[in-house]
Structure 1
Amino acid sequence: MARALVFLVVIFSCLFLIRRTEQIQTSQTQQLLQLRKQLQYPKQLDAWNNTDDLCYAPSSPVVHVGCEGDLVTMLKIVGDKLAKPGEFEGYSIPDQTLSESFSVDSFVTTLTRLTTLKVVILVSLGIWGPLPDKIHRLNALEVLDLSSNFLYGSIPPKLSAMTRLQTLTLDGNFFNDTVPDWFDSFSNLTVLSLRGNRLHGPLPATIGRVTTLTELALSGNNISGAIPDLSGLTSLDLLDLRDNKLDSELPAMPKGLVTALLSKNSLTGEIPEQFGELSRLQHLDLSCNLLEGTPPAELFSLPNISYLNLASNMFTGSISSSITCSSQLGYVDISTNRLTGGLPSCLNSNSNKRAVKFNGNCLSIDPQHQRKDKYCQKSQIKGKDAKTRDIGLMVAVIGGITLVVLVLLLVFLVVCRRNCRRAIAEQRLLPKPVQENSATGFSSELLANARYISQAMKLGMQVLPTYRVFSLEELKEATKNFEHSAYVGEGSIGKLYKGRLENGTFVAIRCLALFKQYSIRNLKLRLDLLSKLRHPHLVCLLGHCVDGVTDDSSVNRIFLIYDYVPNGNLRTHLSECSLERALKWSDRMAILIGIAKAVHFLHTGIIPGCFNNRLKTDNILLDEHLIAKVSDYGLSIISEEIYKQEASVEGQKSMHNESLALEMLNVDDDVYSFGLILLEALVGPALSKKGIAYFLKELAMSFSKNEEQKHILDPIILGTSSQESLSIVISLTNKCLSPESSTRPSMEDVLWNLQYAAQVQATADGDQRSDVASQA
């Protein structure tokens, strides 16, 4: 009897737990579906229709629901509603936001009912309105990313109660109050990114007390005044204060800083000597400020410095000919200053080791691109005269003030003696000073978007396969000992083989010969950096194999193992003549946007960025869904020598001498290379017959003439594109292929323009379908 009773108790307990679990699942699913409704059913969430338990819903790079047991702990939704310049200058609702029926208060209320959430990533969804204080009810939250929406007003102070928060990213919104001074309330915050908002006022000193920070990014705002003391931020890797109105001298920087971006401000004074002690510093940008003096020699020899931009300041004097440059230094820009004398040998522009820009000074070399000596001498004299005048003026002012004070003191004593009581009585009636509150409001300037990937966005990329080290025996087995049937071709760099791993996965294996000798440790460090380049529009690098390693000696050959993409490259698809299989304009736009996203990630997704990726249409692979995958990226990380070999091969593949001259001058510029891809997408296979220069000239002439466009553009796109969308891309192509690199757009600008052109095309297609439906 007792056993039967125990058995019944166990059965009822199990039933209760099962029932309780079902209730939790049902409740959380209902909340998620309510969020989808409030977001007005974005197409990214269509997959939620096919499952009852959203913990098991299909994941993708733009949608992911993560669960621990039966509890929702991660919600990631990335939409396509982007703001464009000129929008949202007041409180009127722009086209890219959710409709007027959307309530951010109701949305956040629903969101906070998912109390177990640890990661919330809601990007580019058109969410608008002031962010409600009640967001702090998500007290388990560790990552909050609300980038690229239309949130305005103040950043809610109650966020400071979210003590577990590690990453706070609010980039690309319209917050227009002052920078909060309560960030030091966070005890675990590592990433604070508020780029591209309308924040104004000074940078509070309390920011220097958030000692857990590794990334501080406030670029593209209206922040003014002084940079506070940040030397206590011992964990800080990235400091991004670009494009603000900061006007102080440079303070001491944290000794562990890796990247410092301070360009486009009004910073004054000389570069502190302490900057020469930043041993971990890799990327320093102080361009477009008002800095003076002579750049410290120690900056050029910092052990890890790879990028140094001091352009467009007021530096004077000459750089010592005896300075040494770090072996890592690949880019130096000292142009548009007032420097004199010669360049030290390690900054010689003819060196193959680094790119050096020095135009617009008064240097003794390359007189064609230098200013006259009198300009720099006059500037120095003016500077000295100004300092002398300032000192004289200061002495005069101090003397005058002292004299006035003495006179007033004398008068005061006389008056006090005559009528002391009256003076005291009047003094008691003096009003107390009243502090005025400045009104807040929107500025008219739309500011830059984020350029560095946040930790929150990295979490969304974990669906890609894990990187690992392969053995040579595995590769031999996969390719049947690299037999001829597995050989695919040379590719752009190294021999390429197709293989099949033991688990049935097809892979592409690139055999890479290293002309530059690296130690095993050096090579593995470079491969570790290459392994971090994971993105949905990059061909996935699965791992590597180092051939013939027995000790820490140099290596001559490595293998890189990639995911195999079977559907051919973009050049092949653009050459397709069949109307049924040819790429329509909308298809080409989607492919181009995918490529731009990948390149933007390569430039900004890691620190330092990965440039010189040799973009070509035959290096852009397409999967079975026509999703673009960029291949042969990042190989400059392993060996610069590879590109010397490739450049000589390119020289033998000239389309036209004029075109070759244009292309070879810009071979290392990803924006220019992307411009060539845009051009080929516009004109199709005819590009290889007539050359780049011909089409550039024709495109410029036909920009506003539809009849002339018919003679040069691929006929496939003329019948499937709107004129407005086409004009945006033609204009963008001309800008990308500008002979002057300084006038070319950034990849961020390229991506925005392509997405805008795609939106214009989608609107035109929708209007056309509506017209057809109404006629029917």
Structure 2
Amino acid sequence: MENTHSFTFLTILIFFVLPFSFAQLLPSETMAVFRFQRILEYPSVLNGWNRWTNFCYIPPSQSLKIVCSGNHVIELTVIGNKGSPYPSKVFSISSQTLSSNFSIDSLFTTLSKLSSLKVLSLVSLGLWGPLPAKINRFSSLQVLNISLTSSNFIYGKIPLQIYSLTSIQSLIFHDNLFNGSVPDLSSLTVLEELDLGCNILGPEFPSLGNKLVSLVLRNNSFHSSINSELQSFDQLQRLDISFNQLVGPIPSLLFSLPSIQYLDLAGNKLSGALPMNTSCRNGLNFMDLSHNLLIGGLPPCVCSNSSDRIVLYSWNCLSSGDSKYQHSNSFCHVEALAAVMPSKQKETSKTKLGLLLGIVGGIVGSLVACMMLIWVIVRSLGKKNEGNSRSQKSVIEKTSVRISPRLGTESRHMSQAMRLGALGLPPYHAFTLEELEEATNNFEPSNLMGEGSQGQLYKGWLSDGSVVVVRCLKLKQRHALKILKQQMEVISKLRHRHLVSILGHCFVTYEESPNATDTIFLVFEYVSNGTLRSHLTERRKQEMLKWPQRLAAATGIARGIQFLHTRIVPGVLRNNFNIKNILLDENLTAKISDYKLPRPFINKITTVGSESPFNGAELDDLDNTGHGDKEDVYQLGVILLEIITGNPITSQTELDVLKLKLERGLAEGPKKLRGETDPSIRGTFAYESLKTAVEITKNCLSEDIGERPSIEDVLWNLQYSAQVQDGWTNSENLSTHS
């Protein structure tokens, strides 16, 4: 029995003591982790650390992962909550990064104390500055990820010392501000993944190790031929060098690399003809050759789309495919010649052009001298008239100056976008009850459009013939009317191209009865072309919205939300957007019909079209979280999901299923993603345009509020998607789908 008790005690002792005796970090590494927390200015994800914290036993999460081996940290992944300012990060860097006290040099000095570190991923922490040369101290590092998803701003040249990372297998610097030439990376013999996309690197194609599995160099400034060494990359599965300025022929062996699956060469100046005997690997399921300067025909394995392979080759000068989507041969010859013209030849051309301009300039100068002499004579004769002109000009200038004060003191809060958004609408007007009675034929029941918690809606016709919607709302609190009157100037600013704008109001007060209910009538513009939801479900093919139209509607909705968030003071948040409340006018312009009144109204009043009008106490509590804008972004994500799939979403389960399908489509490739879209838009979109829209939709629907993009990010991505679409669709095709 005594032995049994001893064994039990020993077991308990081992259970409690061993983790702390064997998994405690070395004192130097513990100090380094605390210093790391301090340098990053104590981000919330690292809160709660103290001297008793056992870093090796912190449960891993989406935001933080620390893995230890022995007494050393071998993996450090930190995801902060800095918002991504993409795409204009150069201009908004100060609001998205760590403070001016931050030192990236100190950060990497501290991290180098983790002598056995193998995985380093720093996400959404707002890092900024040039990558220090002491990166060579990380001799054990296998994965280094500092990319756009990190909202980091690493700029300058990639240090030459990067070649010292001989153990590195994955190097991701995607979407930073690196510039200049890429160092020779051929010595990194175990490097399998390299992503330098969306920087400013170039002009020479980098020298790389041939063990790469994935190589992404898209959206840089490479201006050379494709490195012929790529033809020996036997393990390469993914190659994306799109949207650079690469010139010369495409090495035909790229299509038959032993492992190649994805090949994107679009948006360069690659020229010449592919040999007709070019062979393609069976596993190559996606290739994009579009927007280059290729001529002639395409090899049989390239020119045919199939269920197993997607091929894009529009906007070259090819004889294959539909000529509507190809340039003329002369276009490609001229552009290819300009792209590869030696710099000396260009300089000679400039010299000749300068000489010619000099001769022409001399002739023009002589003519100007003669004209000056004539002008002096005419000017002396016209001095008297000049005085009159001056006085007239003075009157005009004074008149124009008087126009601007009409905007009042609030004009400083109104952007040019706001003023332009109100174009086409009549001036805001305080209606009388008589005017509204005349407009609605004394609120004739036949003009009643709807009734419920949102109040009664009547269709009406103003004296100028314009059609309006009049909403009748009863005020539950006697002091609410006074607050409303104080805030009508703010309400009058709610006018934008992508909002169902408020045109005016009317107050009705019943002073004679203490129990009577005050009434407010809000007058809105009338939008006649139905809801966006109905346009997505209309089965008549000629009336179904195609991808360009859906993209335009989505962009319009984002612009309307941006206006509510940023162009009104205070911002209008937590609007509970729904696709059924997005209306389309006769030009298919999207207009948001359901949004809140500005915050002073929420405290005492209601939302425009809310489920519980004039009862906003619970909304006030929600606003204290500070995430109202991100909740609106989530609702926009739901709308985007319906736009892409065409499926109505009536439950959280349906939302989760559709979101999962799109995520799988992104992961599995173009064929799968295309198959998850609304069948009525297939064939009307550029894949890159769709992919961009799907990616931002997925981000909008993130469960983690901190990971959702800002409305500016959403708007930029939708605009980029539209630009890609415009480049893919010629004007004739666009008019057909419109």
TM-score scaled by structure 1? 0.43
Bigger Cα Rg:
2
